[in-house]
A and B are shown apart, each in its own frame.
Chain A
Amino acid sequence: RKEVEQDPGPFNVPEGATVAFNCTYSNSASQSFFWYRQDCRKEPKLLMSVYSSGNEDGRFTAQLNRASQYISLLIRDSKLSDSATYLCVVIENTGGFKTIFGAGTRLFVKA
Chain B
Amino acid sequence: GAVVSQHPSRVICKSGTSVKIECRSLDFQATTMFWYRQFPKQSLMLMATSNEGSKATYEQGVEKDKFLINHASLTLSTLTVTSAHPEDSSFYICSAYAGHYLAEQYFGPGTRLTVT
A interface residues with partner B (beta carbon < 8 Å)? 31-32, 34, 41-46, 49, 87, 91, 96-104
A44 touches B57 (CB 8 A): no
Q: Which residues of B contact A (CB under 8 A)?
A: 32, 34, 36, 42-46, 49, 57, 91, 93, 95, 102-103, 105, 107-110, 112
**Is there an interface contact between A45 and B107, defined as CB atoms closer than 8 Å?**
yes
A30 to B32, CA, bound (A): 20
Contact of B42 among A49, A96, A100, A103 (CB under 8 A): A103
Q: Which residue of B lies closest to A32 (CB)?
A: B102
Question: Chain A's interface: helix, strand, loop or mixed, by majority?
Answer: strand
Q: Given A41-B112, A96-B49, A99-B34, A46 and B43 touching (CB < 8 A)?
A: no
B103 near A43 with CB under 8 A, answer: no
- Which residue from chain B places its CB closest to the CB of A38 in the assembled complex? B44
**Using Cβ atoms and an 8 Å threshold, which residues of chain A touch B34?**
99
- Which residue from B42, B46, B49, B109 sits with its C-beta under 8 Å from A43? B109
* Contact in complex: A49, B103 (CB < 8 Å): yes
Complex: A45 Cα to B108 Cα, angstroms = 10
CB distance from A10 to the nearest CB of B (A): 11
B44 touches A101 (CB 8 A): yes
Selected contact of A87 from candidates B43, B46, B91, B95, CB within 8 Å: B43
